[in-house]
Chains A and B, each alone.
Chain A
């Protein structure tokens, strides 16, 4: 069984300051982990993915995430927030033994607010 917990439903930061969106996961096997972003009335766009290669993963738009097995965490960070980063962010886990991309489990999402 796999599950994802996003620790904050809302995060508010000022433009130009760092962003931290927290995610903890549970998986019976070595997981694949993803972060997706969803802008209003849009589908989901992949930011980055972890699939057992380097533990520090770099994604698009300056985002990165670090896989920490000992802490079962996969937090998303960005050094400097931009107004266009305002969106809903989802942490996603895939159980490798279950087929990887099949049947992803999404967290409930973190709404990122950027203050001018």
Chain B
């Protein structure tokens, strides 16, 4: 039973560029959430996708956007990268309706913006 997989594991980009991160949810899960974890901080909720639509969004600017595909996989896009976007980006999956079920996290994508 495959868990949550994220790609790539590491990425280096330059200020102003755009980046796309990818996530495949755990088998049987239909909901994907994205979190940003800055160095030395706890993860912060970016947004959640279900049925190919954004359901909830945290306090992140519009430069952060996402997409969910019919197979439940998801992408996180960040435009006009800033140095402050350097972080570990975590994807988590869950099953809608099981509201108190814990999220299953991937190992993350480490983004460095220079």
* B106 neighbours in A (Cβ, 8 Å): 43
A74 within 8 A of B: no
Pair count A-B, CB < 8 A: 65
* B112 neighbours in A (Cβ, 8 Å): none
Contact for B105 among A44, A94, A100, CB less than 8 A: A44
How far is A30 from B11 in the complex, measured between Cα atoms in Å?
40
Of the stretches A13-21, A64-72, A76-84, A105-113, the one at the interface is A105-113
A90 within 8 A of B: yes
- 0/1 string, A91-109, CB within 8 A of B gives 1: 0001010011111111111
* B35 neighbours in A (Cβ, 8 Å): 106
For chain A, the bracket of interface size reads 20 to 34
* B105:A45 contact, CB within 8 angstroms: yes
A26 within 8 A of B: no
A51 within 8 A of B: yes
* A94 neighbours in B (Cβ, 8 Å): 100
How far is A45 from B41 in the complex, measured between Cα atoms in Å?
16
* A101:B42 contact, CB within 8 angstroms: no
The total of chain B residues at the interface (CB under 8 A) is: 26
* B107 neighbours in A (Cβ, 8 Å): 41-43
B44 within 8 A of A: yes
* A96 neighbours in B (Cβ, 8 Å): 99-100
How far is A104 from B103 in the complex, measured between Cα atoms in Å?
9
How far is A51 from B45 in the complex, measured between Cα atoms in Å?
20
* A100:B56 contact, CB within 8 angstroms: no
B108 within 8 A of A: yes
How far is A96 from B100 in the complex, measured between Cα atoms in Å?
8
How far is A87 from B47 in the complex, measured between Cα atoms in Å?
26
Taking beta carbons and an 8 Å cutoff, which residues of A are in contact with B? 32, 34, 36, 41-46, 49, 51, 90, 94, 96, 99-109
Taking beta carbons and an 8 Å cutoff, which residues of B are in contact with A? 4, 33, 35, 40-45, 48, 55-56, 58, 90, 92, 94, 98-103, 105-108
